A and B are shown apart, each in its own frame.
Chain A
Amino acid sequence: MYAYLVKTLIGVFSLDENRRVISFKPFSKDPSQIAMKLSEDSPSEIQQIRTEFKNFEFVSGNLKMEAFVKENLLKYAIEYSFVKNQVEFNQLLTKVNSELAKQKIKETSRRDQLVIHVNNAIEELDKSVNVFIERLREWYSFHFPEMDRMIENHETYVALIEKFGNRQNIDDKKLNHLKDRSSGMDFTEDDTNILKLFASDITKLYQLRESLLDYQSKLVKDVAPNFSAIAGDAIAAKLIAKAGGLERLSRMPSSTIQLLGSEKALFRFLKSRGRSKSPKFGLIYNHPMIQNSPRETQGKVARLLAAKLSIASRIDYYSKEYKADEMKKDLENKVKKILSSKE
């Protein structure tokens, strides 16, 4: 005789061919326990039924039987006093499904999402540091306006203030001849001390930026080894962040990857229906391969690069097998061909 096994969230049912319940092994009533049982292929309850009823041949996965039990699940749940009424049943459903969702979220490895945060943190940090530096330059220029022009590099500018404070103390080849003839007002010790403090905090932000960059390249190599090898760590991180994760990136056509980051120009082009020029590249514009080719062929190179990148992102998402070296060589050959056919 045949009997059918149906796993539900209240337990395992076995039914005969006339849809009569032969046996019911309830799960424990704890939602997280239930969620665990549901994600197991054959929980112990199924084994129990199989050993208890040796005269039946058990079949699981019968769709009609499953649908039948599912439809009557509330009735069964009350009958076997698993719950008292529908409200309790609904609450159980909610809790179990919520546990299942939690499990699912935990299982899907989402290290690529970290790339998005690091990348955005770096961009935001850049913006903030710029604002601070502008303020520092304006402020310190009251005291030593000549230095603003002489020291164009921000980090050096900040470091000088942090180290010396008052312009009288500055010891720098470029500045020594200027400091005595400066048109700036005099600063008291309090005035300079607060600026030294400000400068030292900006320096710390620069250090933070360095650490973030280091971490980002490590992370991106781990998450997308092929993709980052071809794109370069910084561009790879930007593309993953822009796409919203490696999965989404791997589902993108290469033409989309080619234009990631140039949305404004792209939609201007689409809305004008061809009256304005279509963009040829987005974030990948900064890739050395595009930077080093002549203007007329940049579009073609971008297309090739994007095509390889989309393949690489798929390898990274699905297998992570390292193939970047061959791919790079192939790409370089193709680019060479384009460049030589030009001449």
Chain B
Amino acid sequence: MAEMKQTKFHGVFKIDGRIATVNLVPGKKAYGEDLIKDRGVEYRIWDFWRSKPAAAIKNGLKELPLKKGMAILYLGIANGTTSSHFSDIIGKEGLIYGVEISGRPFRELLPIAEKRGNIIPILANARMPEDYENNVLSKVDLVYEDVASNDQVEILIRNCLKFLKPKGYAVIAIKSQSIDVTRNPREIYKECIKEFEKHFDIIDKVELDPYEKYHLFVVMKSKR
């Protein structure tokens, strides 16, 4: 039988061409993913098709700045698929502030959050950081954004200015189809990157084809 092997990413393992994270709450699935036991440790398979960071890793991402104990601000947490793996990686000392505008996905998110104890669900609009600044207790190490909106670049920058620690990380999945369907995605990526470079150093970027069409995954570090 194949064995779990550590990848170069903190807390991410691989087996048989798939990647996985250590299950923070053994025996419990978050969204119907496969559970694999290896030498007494339970792992959850991280699906390339359902989670953008997983797709980015599959497509050759060089660095994913996730570490144990990190505080993360997650914009557009939806029903908690991706964040459950983040929650595995950062562990019980870490904290994810998950902002979501729509009440519907909370049906799935709330049970996951309560089980894991390190995901804080916040029902708010990510365009208005003032609305949830009381919920976010301290500055965060990383801001992750996956929202379908044509001002997603602006939203990320605004949240980073407010909540990101100096020299903290920002990770975004740019959806070119949400920004402008009529234009060439590559052109849109270029413009977004240009905008980001005013505030961040770009560490790595990778397109998510075929797992997500017309998406660019970007990892950045704050200049401030």
Listed in ascending order, the chain A residues whose CB lies under 8 Å from chain B are 66, 70-71, 73-74, 86-87, 90-91, 93-95, 97-98, 100-102, 104-105, 108, 110, 267, 270-271, 273
A90 near B123: Cβ-Cβ < 8 Å: no
Whether A105 touches B103, Cβ cut-off 8 Å, given contacts A97-B120, A98-B113, is yes
B118-A90 in contact (CB<8A) = yes
Given contact pairs A94-B119, A101-B123, A102-B106, a sample of 15 additional A-B residue pairs in the complex whose CB atoms are under 8 Å apart: A71-B138, A73-B137, A87-B93, A90-B94, A90-B117, A91-B117, A91-B118, A93-B137, A97-B113, A97-B121, A98-B114, A101-B110, A101-B122, A104-B103, A105-B123
Q: Please pick, from A86, A105, A270, the residue contacting B93 in the complex, using a CB distance under 8 A.
A: A86
3 closest residue pairs by CB, A with B:
A91-B117, A105-B103, A101-B123
Q: In the complex the two chains form, what is the Cα distance from A5 to B169 in whole Å?
A: 34
**Which of A86, A98, A267: most chain B CB closer than 10 A?**
A98
Residues of A within 8 A of B110 (CB): 98, 101-102
B135 within 8 Å of A (CB atoms): yes
Closest Cβ of chain A: how far from B120's Cβ, in Å? 5
| A87 adjacent to B92 (CB under 8 Å) | yes
User: What is the minimal beta-carbon distance from B67 to any residue of chain A, in angstroms?
Assistant: 16
Interface size on B, residues (CB 8 A): 23
- Contacting pair B118 A94 (CB below 8 A): yes
| B181 lies within 8 A of chain A by Cβ | yes
CA distance A104 to B100 in the complex (A): 12
- Assembly CA distance A270 to B137 (angstroms): 45
A70 to B116, CA, bound (A): 23
Main secondary structure of the interface of A (DSSP, over half): helix
Q: In B160-180, which residues have CB < 8 Å from any A CB?
A: none
A227 to B43 CA separation, bound complex (whole angstroms): 52
Nearest-Cβ distance from residue B26 to partner chain A, whole angstroms:
16
B137 surroundings in chain A (CB, below 8 A): 70-71, 73-74, 93
Contacts of A94 in B (CB 8 A): 113-114, 116-121
Chain A residues with CB under 8 A of B182: 267, 270-271, 273
B107–chain A nearest beta-carbon distance, Å = 9
Q: B115 CB to closest chain A CB, in angstroms?
A: 9
Q: Does B95 contact A (CB under 8 A)?
A: yes
What are 9 pairs between A and B in contact, CB < 8 Å?
Answer: A74-B137, A87-B93, A90-B95, A91-B118, A93-B120, A97-B120, A98-B114, A98-B120, A104-B123
| CA of A105 to CA of B105, assembled, Å | 11
Residues of A within 8 A of B122 (CB): 97, 101
The reply to whether A270 and B181 contact each other, CB–CB distance below 8 Å, is yes
- B135–A87 CB distance below 8 A: no
Closest B residue to A104 using CB positions: B123
Bound: A101/B118 CA distance, A: 16
A29 to B137 CA separation, bound complex (whole angstroms): 19
Cα-based distance from A100 to B110 in the complex (angstroms): 11
Nearest-neighbour CB distance to chain A for B87, whole angstroms, equals 10
- Can you list, as one digit per residue, whether each of B201-219 has a CB less than 8 Å from chain A (1) or not (0)? 0000000000000000000
Q: Would A98 and B121 count as touching, CB distance under 8 A?
A: yes
Name the interface residues of B100-157: CB closer than 8 Å to any CB of A. 103, 106, 110, 113-114, 116-123, 134-135, 137-138
Q: Give the CA-CA distance A301 to B198 in the complex, in Å.
A: 47
A108 engages B121 (CB within 8 Å): no
Partner of A90, one of B93, B106, B134: B93
